[in-house]
Amino acid sequence: MDNQVVIQIDDLTKIYRVGVLRRSVEAVKGLDLNVFAGEVFAFLGQNGAGKTTTIKLLLGHARPTSGCTSLFGIDSRKPQSRYKVGYLPDLPHFYNFLSSLELLDYAGRLFGINKSYRIDRSRKLIKQVGLEGRENDPLRGFSRGMLQRIGLAQALINDPELLIIDEPLVGLDPAGRAELRHIILNLKERGKTIFFSSHILDDAQRIADRVGIINKGKLDSVGTLNELLTTKSGWDIRLAPIANRDILRQIANLETTIFHDSNSCSIKVENERDFKTILGWASQGLIHLKSIEDRRLSLEDVFLQELSKSTE
């Protein structure tokens, strides 16, 4: 991965004033984040965590209360920062009287793309997103999934170096999701940077290089999947069936989960103290160990752990 910083977010805060009494709501709090060229970055969080607000601040759709954002080193409030950017919003809305080709033509013209290239690229993109044959159909007749596809096409019209997608897989059927994952991975192979927000952890785990978890406006953790999932959450121990009732009683007093029958016994150990106790029994010959495996957290575990930390 290139070390060029494509997205830079420095101490970003956004406070909204809502209601008659202008109550302040901190949607984003002191967010610091860098996204590097060529990576797929998944920005994860619950609904209302601040993912979409962060994206809006990145694209200049909202103004930050404090802090700054930049794209390719250019202040993201300046239109020049978006020349190499493609954007697909959550639940995209387009002028529904336009056809697919007209929408892509409009998008291409906003980038100053010349006519012949625009037409050629529009047709290729329509084919790529699986809407061949629908070029001249008005968008008002499109389903949500079809709008998501044409939305992706308009985001790719300028062959962007950075693709920002808000909840990319919402509204797509399983085939559509597989296709979009394939498109994203294809873009990555071509050296593009993809920044997407999601609350579907499985998809993030499949395609992301790095993950950031945002919760109540704060970035709780950032890292590669290896870094985030490296934390041990315990051990899985398999042993021979235990005949010693005293040992069985002692195991029941530990913070473990035990599965025991006449053929096998497995214990899920949560903490190091209990793990050492069990190892001690094994060294005294009181139990017979067959295998020990480190249990690592899944992305969902990490996600839920971060959420629970913030409520403590």
Partner 1 sequence: MLHMLGFAVAMLILAWVVSIWSLGEQGKIITDLGLTITVLIGVIIALFAGIVLVWNEVEHHTILTTLAKPIARWEFVVGKYLGFSTAVIAVYYGMSLFLIVFLTFFNIMPTWELVWAIYLSSWEILIIAAVAIMFSAFASPSYSAMFSISLFIIGRFSWDIRVFIENNPKTIMRPVLEIVYTIIPHLSYFNKRYAATHAIEINWEQIFFPTLYGIVYCGLVLIIAVMAFKNRDLA
Residues found near partner 1 in the complex (CB under 8 A): 16, 56, 59-63, 79-83, 85, 87, 89, 91-95, 107, 110-111, 151, 154, 164
Beta carbons of 41 and 12 less than 8 angstroms apart: no
- Which lies closer to partner 1 via its Cβ, residue 19 or residue 285? 19
- Side by side, which strands form the sheet with 5-18? 23-36, 5-18, 66-71, 74-75
Closest approach of partner 1 to the CB of residue 6, in Å: 15
Closest approach of partner 1 to the CB of residue 62, in Å: 4
Closest approach of partner 1 to the CB of residue 160, in Å: 10
Amino acid, res. 167: E
- Which lies closer to partner 1 via its Cβ, residue 110 or residue 178? 110
- Which lies closer to partner 1 via its Cβ, residue 164 or residue 265? 164
- Which lies closer to partner 1 via its Cβ, residue 79 or residue 280? 79
The closest alpha carbon to 162, from 228, 69, 45, 30, belongs to 69
Closest approach of partner 1 to the CB of residue 105, in Å: 13
Beta carbons of 104 and 123 less than 8 angstroms apart: no
Supply φ then ψ for residue 275, to 5 degrees: -60, -45
Closest approach of partner 1 to the CB of residue 35, in Å: 17
- Which lies closer to partner 1 via its Cβ, residue 62 or residue 247? 62
Closest approach of partner 1 to the CB of residue 169, in Å: 18
Residues with Cβ within 8 Å of 57's Cβ and at least 6 positions away in sequence, in order, are: 12, 14, 28, 63, 64, 69, 76
- Which lies closer to partner 1 via its Cβ, residue 59 or residue 222? 59
Burial class (CB in 10 A: 0-12, 13-18, 19+), 86: buried
Question: What gap in Å lies between CA 143 and CA 171, rounded to an integer?
Answer: 9
DSSP 139: G
